[in-house]
Structure 1
Amino acid sequence: MLSVLLIEDDIDLAETLIDYLELEGMRCDHAANGVAGLELVERQPPDLVLLDLHLPRLDGLRVCERLREAGRDIPVLMLTARDALDDKLAGFAAGTDDYLIKPFELRELAARIHALARRRSGQSQRLGCADLEMHLGQRRVTRAGRPIHLSPTGWRLLEALLRASPNVVSRAALETTLWGEDVPDSNSLKVHLYHLRQAVDVPFEFPLVQTVPGHGVALRPAT
């Protein structure tokens, strides 16, 4: 069941949306202010956040920024009565994935939710696994607080694995991410994975880059 967190201070509207989304087969939790919304995300991350722009305690833009700064790649659909271009641009700059202008049709809301929920957000500014962190805006990677230096290809490889972590990424998907349809040769990915392991695993206590025979590669601590 798809889980949605609605952060909306208009209680009447919130009750209407919750009832409708539950009829559509979604589980919908609710927070009436931005601070409570962030606390709910920490306790039980949803599949998608419906986020009002004007909220007490912490407005929608700040909530979205904090989610992205914390590395949360949960898709965010912002709800607002504002339709000015500058307001939309501010929302996208804060990290929202889509906008819906009030008033809206409930069927359109459900369609947007399903479309966004099929993918993770690409707007997160920090990705991590265990003690490994990638800061996208700063183009910086650290593990256990120590800087790690990667080639441009190594960066793209690590970013793809971090975005999918802890799930497995097929070798074909990694090759497409790195080179598109023009893969240099059959050993190129193997070479780059070797260099990635040398950078992020060898100097540290436990490995993170895991080969899953017959499936691909995952970034996660060994179990």
Structure 2
Amino acid sequence: MEPQSKGSVLLVEDHQDIAELVYDYMEGVGYELDYAPDGEVGINLVAQNEYDAIILDLMLPRRDGLSVCRELREKMGKTTPVLMLTARDTLEDKLKGFETGADDYLVKPFEIEELEARVRVLIKRGHSSPSVTDALRVGAIEFDQQSLVVRRDGQELILSPIGYRLLKILMERSPGVVSRQDIEREIWGDMLPDSDTLRSHMYNLRKVIDKPFPKSYLQTLPGIGYRLCDPDGAH
């Protein structure tokens, strides 16, 4: 009896030595892998197959990782978790990656065991079915958890996969404050990200749900956490 697969993973990486290392290790510990040497091939494979996770290099020939991730999210409507690999580790670069829909970020050089652990967390999170109740509402923001449709003042808002999870956490506990530690634990489990990751995702969430509107719902309490509350309601 063959051991059960840990999940299907698409690896998009143009550096042959890195690709071979990741492919051989991940296959050796029980994953099924497809490989793409550039962004165009990666997009074609995603169009033809369903994957549990995608390992996506940032600097790729033909189409870079940001362009690929944006296409997956905005044009193809794919919610497959994406782990971005890059040699760039500035906050600005991470913001760009998360803005296009990446779920996690790993800076080169990396330990192969950490990469596998992060992929495992992404797959587990993608397979977990959140408890779905009635639509959530905070003031003018509505979140239908069945259809993953978010609206503010009747206008539909498009979030990243992690953006939906963050909004759900904040809406369920509104108008209470949710600590940074609680959010990180709920999103990433034991594989806690670096200090910029949550800040980057919150920045992108705020840009979608608040920036186009005159009043802000998402509040940052320095050193404490975050909360979502109706600016026109009683706090």
TM-score norm. by structure 2 comes to 0.54
Match of 1:3 in 2: 8
Task: State how 1:19-34 maps to structure 2 within 5 Å.
Answer: 19-34=24-39
| 1:72-103 CA-partner distances (Å, limit 9, x unpaired) | 10000000011111111111111101100011
Letter in 2 for 1:92: F
Q: Distance in 2 between matches of 1:181 and 1:58?
A: 40
Task: State how 1:13-162 maps to structure 2 within 5 Å.
Answer: 13-69=18-74, 70-120=76-126, 155-157=142-144, 160-162=145-147
Letter in 2 for 1:156: F
Match of 2:192 in 1: none
CA RMSD of aligned residues (A): 2.6
Letter in 1 for 2:78: R
Q: Distance in 1 between matches of 2:88 and 2:51?
A: 25
Instruction: Give percent identity, aligned residues only.
Output: 47
Distance 1:84 1:22, change over 3 A: same
- 5+ residue gaps, structure 1, are 122-150, 164-175, 183-223
Q: Distance in 1 between matches of 2:28 and 2:18?
A: 16
| 1:105-140 CA-partner distances (Å, limit 9, x unpaired) | 01101110011111239xxxxxxxxxxxxxxxxxxx
Q: Distance in 1 between matches of 2:172 and 2:93?
A: 35
Letter in 1 for 2:143: R
1:152 Cα shift? Answer: 5.9
Q: Distance in 1 between matches of 2:96 and 2:33?
A: 26
Secondary structure at 1:6's aligned position in 2? strand
1:51 Cα shift? Answer: 0.3
Match of 1:197 in 2: none
Letter in 1 for 2:30: G
Secondary structure at 2:51's aligned position in 1? coil
Q: How many residues are matched?
A: 139
Distance 1:180 1:46, change over 3 A: same
Secondary structure at 2:106's aligned position in 1? strand
TM-score norm. by structure 1 comes to 0.57
Match of 2:152 in 1: none
